[in-house]
Structure 1
Amino acid sequence: MREISVRRRACLLLAALTAASPVLSQTNRAIRVLVPGPAGSGMDAYLRAVSPAVSAKIGNPLVIENLPGAGGTLATAQAARASNDGHTLLIVSSNHVINPSLYKSLPYDVINDFSPVTIVGTVPMVMVASPGLAARTIPELIVQMKAKPGEFNFGSLGVGTVLHLAGAAFNIEAGVSTNHVPYKDASSLIADLANGQIQIAYLALPSVAQLVKAGRIKAMGVTNAQRAPAMPDVPAIAEFVPGYAMDAWIALLAPKGMALAQSKKYFEAFKEAMSDSAAKEALSAQGMIPILMPPEKVRGFMQEELAKQTALAHRVGLTAQ
């Protein structure tokens, strides 16, 4: 009888520990996180900053797999086909909801083929200008653009990117006409901007902060509705162009059908990880503004963003290929 009692207590203790353990830790199986971009990209840098704390929280290692190409659709398509057992996650940017306007036949539905986990936060974009540009402020720039319609060029990292649409939206809201010049890489864009080949450009804050500080280029305004904490002295474009706002957000998704309870556990793990001191320091260096939206609200947010970006792409005249 005593042996049976001991065994029963042991089983009850094991059951209690299993119930209290974090996400999937009893399997110790790695969690794949697919990244639709190269190593060193904003999404990749975010994951590498928080993954140690997330792994400690859930009890499973995170394995980051970079699958760049085709506007991020390669990694996204693979995630859509993956099992919904909780061992695959996908990180995406705002481009996720722009892609339906660029590609006629995506092999997935950007909303309905995924289980939402969280909107992590936004990485501010900055309108930057050539150091030789006469305009020092957004109002001065608008006056010059209106005086010389079609003579100003703005650079971005490709047609249909959120950076491109940030510039296109500025044209619309400010009532100006400028020419879009797409680049394949940031180094070429910045070189042309610095020497005056193009007058302005739209880039993520982390990629321009040191260049602005060094005086190689100048920051005109951030595209978020409010000023960015990492660049508090740089105004928001919205301060001079009411109604203008363009966010570059980052989200975590999972294959369709993953249980909501699982999504919530991942949400809590990433939320806690972002309060880790080392992660906070790394994210602050990137200029990230945390949002940490719970999974129940993500689908509605993404539906609104899809409608917004689709309407903007139509106004800009983007044609799906």
Structure 2
Amino acid sequence: MNFPMHFSRRRVLSAAALLPLAARAQASYPSKPIRMIIPFAAGGATDVLGRDLGQAMTQSLGQSFVVENMGGGAGVPALNTVARAAPDGHTVMFCASGNITAQPLLSKNRVDILSQVAPVGMVASAPHVLVVNGNGPFKSVADLIAYAKAHPGELNFASAGVGGLAHLGTELFARTAGIKVTHIPYKGAAQVNTDLMSGQIQAIFGTMPSFIGLISRGAIRAVGITAPSKASPLKGLPLISQTVPGFTYSTWNAIFAPARTPAASIAKLYEAMQIAARNPTLAHRFDEQGVDIALASPEELRNLVRKESVIWDKVIKDARIELN
């Protein structure tokens, strides 16, 4: 009868002896600068947000973020780099939602992305803006739809690449509105804007930072947004769902770490993200970019990835989208 009590006491003593070691391990993280992989070129919207967030998180973590831009390859090189990194919390990826919820679905050899990377937390959310030529005939979403119905397939929507969220958003818009449009993929945003201003293409979805300068000059016109937002640059823009009921989506930004990163390290990163989100300077910087502060815990982010992956998977299959 005494053996179970003796055995239980030994286990308690052993666990107690390990507590200082675990506490020291958690307290020592991070022990060096954190490598932040961004799957876009320097200067883009995600890059700007990631650098601002890293700087704000540095204040509570006591270690800086070293940003490494890894654009191209539909984000796959960046994902692979993070997935293969040591799972010690010193390599993370700051990405846009499409990198996680859409691009992996286009791979010929599909894998469960959440078996490769671990959610740390979401920090921001923003709608896409639908923009048209500033001197063109389209003044509203209704104008675009009316033209597309009268001229099936003649309305050209551009995107910065096949399978990106702007492309998928275009396909979702066309199907929800019951119209046929032509998708014109580009290899970058700069040429897209040039051709939009010249009238070679008629419309494009994208985030406000890509368009804000051209909108202010009247070179292009914003006719609607894909989801509600409190961000200053988006005030006054109508929801597209007012014209196309049921049409909505957002892009969001989050941090992911290699799978098997210790839960304590992830928790510390998310705590630093929460502290950064309360920083008025960071909130102002995000607002300037047309982005809302929107926090989601690791588990909430995991569920969001699962939910949105189902939505985009259907769009990809319905539109028969494939990467060349």
- The bucket for the TM-score relative to the shorter chain is 0.7 to 0.9
Q: Which residue of 1 is the match for residue 39 of structure 2?
A: 36
Give the letter aligned to residue 29 of structure 2: L
Q: Which residue of 2 is the match for residue 99 of structure 1?
A: 103
Listed one character per residue, the Cα deviations across residues 224-268 of structure 1 (whole Å, up to 9, x for unaligned) are 255754311111111111111121111211111122232122111
Please point out which of 239, 242, 263 is paired with 2:242: 239
Instruction: Give, in angstroms, the shift of residue 319 of structure 1.
Output: 2.3
Cα gap change, 1:267 to 1:34, in 2 (>3 Å)? same
CA distance in 2, matches of 1:158, 1:22: 43
Residues 38, 95 of structure 2: 8 Å contact kept:
yes
Residues 129, 205 of structure 2: 8 Å contact kept:
yes
Q: Which residue of 1 is the match for residue 282 of structure 2?
A: 279
Cα gap change, 1:162 to 1:71, in 2 (>3 Å)? same
Cα gap change, 1:147 to 1:259, in 2 (>3 Å)? same
Cα gap change, 1:221 to 1:59, in 2 (>3 Å)? same
CA distance in 2, matches of 1:39, 1:23: 31
CA distance in 2, matches of 1:174, 1:226: 22
* Partner-residue secondary structure (3-state), 1:318: coil
Cα gap change, 1:20 to 1:104, in 2 (>3 Å)? closer
Q: Which residue of 2 is the match for residue 80 of structure 1?
A: 83
Give the alignment of 1:1-321 within 5 angstroms.
Answer: 24-25=29-30, 27=31, 29-95=32-98, 96-105=100-109, 109-225=112-228, 229-320=232-323
Instruction: Give, in angstroms, the shift of residue 39 of structure 1.
Output: 0.9
CA distance in 1, matches of 2:35, 2:186: 31
Instruction: Give, in angstroms, the shift of residue 127 of structure 1.
Output: 0.8
CA distance in 2, matches of 1:174, 1:181: 19
Residues 41, 69 of structure 2: 8 Å contact kept:
yes
CA distance in 1, matches of 2:199, 2:235: 26
> How many percent of aligned residue pairs carry the same amino acid?
31
Residues 225, 246 of structure 1: 8 Å contact kept:
no
Q: Where do 5+ consecutive residues of structure 2 fail to align?
A: 1-19
Residues 124, 228 of structure 1: 8 Å contact kept:
no
* Partner-residue secondary structure (3-state), 2:183: strand
Cα gap change, 1:178 to 1:293, in 2 (>3 Å)? same
* Partner-residue secondary structure (3-state), 1:123: strand
Instruction: Give, in angstroms, the shift of residue 47 of structure 1.
Output: 1.7
Cα gap change, 1:280 to 1:227, in 2 (>3 Å)? closer
Length, aligned pairs only: 302
Q: What is the aligned-residue RMSD (CA, Å)? A: 2.0
Residues 227, 235 of structure 1: 8 Å contact kept:
no
Q: Which residue of 2 is the match for residue 9 of structure 1?
A: none
Moved more, 230-239 or 108-117: 108-117
Q: Which residue of 2 is the match for residue 11 of structure 1?
A: none
Moved more, 178-187 or 108-117: 108-117
Q: Where do 5+ consecutive residues of structure 1 fail to align?
A: 1-14
Give the letter aligned to residue 159 of structure 2: S
CA distance in 1, matches of 2:74, 2:25: 40
CA distance in 1, matches of 2:200, 2:323: 29
Normalised by the length of structure 1, the TM-score is 0.88
Normalised by the length of structure 2, the TM-score is 0.87
